[in-house]
Amino acid sequence: MLEMLVAIMGNTLRTATPIVLAAMGGQFTEHAGVMNIGMDGMMLIGAFAAVTASYLFASAAMGVLAAILVGLLVGLLFAIFVVKLRSDEFIIGVALNLFAGGLTVFLLRQLFGVAGAFADPGIVGLPNIELGFIKDIPILGKLISGHSLFVYISWIIVFACWIIVYKTPLGMRMRASGEHPESLRSLGISPESMKIIASLLCGVLCGIAGAHLSLGYLTQFTEGMSASRGFIAFACIIFGRANPPKVFLAALFFGFLDALGLRMQFLGISSDITGMMPYLMTVLMMVWMAVGERYKKKRMLKLNKVK
């Protein structure tokens, strides 16, 4: 029983990592006042770019670099439409997801001549890291040692994002661009420039999340492999109020549901049922938050009437 629990928790860290990375990018745009539901498409394009570059250059590092550059480009494209051209951010996000799905399917067929999935011994995956003496500790070693590189990097990124958002001038300006843009403009700082920076950071981190999916979590690319993780990342941002540590905990919760679902399949439960768990919980928690917000508003109205 204990071994099974440790295995589930270890798998939780792996399955939560792409959600954590994407959510850390999305919280920047959320603070800047931009609703980015195109993160799923950003992840998918990043995953494809990572596999392609890793295969062509026989290097995982080149795969990650390609995912970062492509993520930067897609983030810039998103910013141009939403910030510069003032297009509806929801429509652009949906269009980006559809575009990413179609583009990766097309390129998979044109570049590699396959449909559905591309797996090849020439794809170099991200290394698994053994944490020195920690790996020999009975339970702790199995839990946190031997994971892909980005599992550990994601923990550092969470702390770095918290520092940037709450402890640096850039973070203060980014938050002001979403909450009080006119006040920021009165100081001679363009809110639009902050929104663009947030979109670029989001693109980079979503690209890295995609690289983890195709080179760390798996060593292949499959059509639609982001599997709506970008939407789950967006839900984590909402649940965590765009606060990096809280968003991280929300992502771990969804990672746990995913890992638990995989374990339940070994017990004979249908994958159709277990695969629903993270998405069903997303809907339930969104409903719970909406009801909670309505309750708070009603309570505030009653208090104002009493006063």
Please name the residue that has the structure tokens 């809907």: 283
* Higher pLDDT pick, 264 / 128: 128
Q: What percent of the chain has pLDDT over 90?
A: 64
Residue 260 near residue 21 (C-beta atoms within 8 A) = no
Average pLDDT over residues 223-240: 91
Which one, of 172, 237, 174, 215, lies nearest residue 19 by Cα? 237
- Rounded Cα distance, 103 and 101, in Å: 6
Give yes or no for residue 46 having a pLDDT over 90.
Answer: yes
Give yes or no for residue 255 having a pLDDT over 70.
Answer: yes
Task: Output the CA–CA distances (angstroms, integers) from residue 79 to 57, 87, 234, 285, in the order listed.
Answer: 30, 10, 17, 29
Strands (E) in 96-255, as ranges, are 117-118, 128-129, 147-148, 221-222
- Rounded Cα distance, 278 and 259, in Å: 10
User: How many Cβ atoms are within 10 Å of 22's Cβ, its own excluded?
Assistant: 35
What is the per-residue pLDDT for 151?
A: 92
User: How many Cβ atoms are within 10 Å of 142's Cβ, its own excluded?
Assistant: 15
Give yes or no for residue 273 having a pLDDT over 80.
Answer: no
- Rounded Cα distance, 250 and 262, in Å: 19
Query: Which tens digits make up the pLDDT trace of 147-175?
Result: 888 999 999 999 999 999 999 999 999 99
Give yes or no for residue 32 having a pLDDT over 70.
Answer: yes
- Rounded Cα distance, 197 and 156, in Å: 20
Q: Tell me the whole-structure pTM to 2 decimals.
A: 0.90
What is the per-residue pLDDT for 297?
A: 74
Which one, of 300, 251, 25, lies nearest residue 157 by Cα? 25
Residue 30 near residue 242 (C-beta atoms within 8 A) = yes
